[in-house]
Amino acid sequence: YTPQGGPIKRQMKQLGIDVVLMGGDGICSPEMGRLGGDAIGESVYCTQGGTMLDKAKEGKVFADEYQKKYNRPAETYAVSFYDGMMLIAQAMKQANSVDPKQFGPALAKISYKGVAGQYDFDANHDLKQSPVTVYRFKDGLPVPLTSY
């Protein structure tokens, strides 16, 4: 996580350990750059669930509106939580109820187009498709490289 990752990379730099630091979503945050200072350069990579916002049709609009409203870039899972809440809201509308016993079955069968992509579930209620994005830090911020 960023409280450990930033200082670890800073200490690696102090010790002359010039290797790539890779991590998951726990270090994929602007906080990593704040905690690691100038040690957080282009030799830090991370991954997180979701797609690149600038590649998604509505992603740029979401990112711009988030920046405008909160005066900072969208944090790691902002778009995922947004899409998740909108997906649940759609299931509630379809079931005409806010009772989970009523909208749960609608949620299990839902097909929803969100900001980050398409949401469809299999028979086990798992996402049929779950994109992952690889980031590389630049100027202390995670910058998306590619999505799979």
Q: Is the pLDDT of residue 7 over 90?
A: yes
Q: Which domains does the chain have, with CATH numbers?
A: 1-50+131-148 (3.40.50.2300), 52-129 (3.40.50.2300)
For every residue of 13-34, DSSP letters joined together read HHTT----EEE-GGG-SHHHHH
Mean pLDDT of 82-87: 94
Q: Is the pLDDT of residue 89 over 90?
A: yes
In this structure, are strands 111-113 and 44-49 parallel, antiparallel, or unpaired?
Answer: unpaired
Which two tokens mark 77?
Answer: 């899972």
pLDDT of 32-80, one tens digit each?
Answer: 999 999 999 899 999 988 777 777 778 889 999 999 999 998 876 888 8
Task: Quote the pLDDT of residue 51.
Answer: 76
- Residue 99 tokens read as 């009772």
**Structure confidence at residue 136 (pLDDT):** 96
* pLDDT above 90: residue 85: yes
Tell me the backbone φ, ψ of residue 66, rounded to 5 degrees.
-65, -50
Q: What is the pLDDT of residue 80?
A: 87
Closest CA to 33 of 81, 75, 67: 75
pLDDT digits (tens, 9 = 90+) for 90-141: 999 999 999 999 999 999 999 999 998 889 999 998 989 888 889 999 999 9
The answer to whether 40 and 135 are in contact (CB under 8 A) is no
User: In whole angstroms, how far apart are CA 62 and each of 9, 79, 91, 105?
Assistant: 31, 8, 22, 29
pLDDT of 75 reads: 77
Q: What is the pTM of this model?
A: 0.70
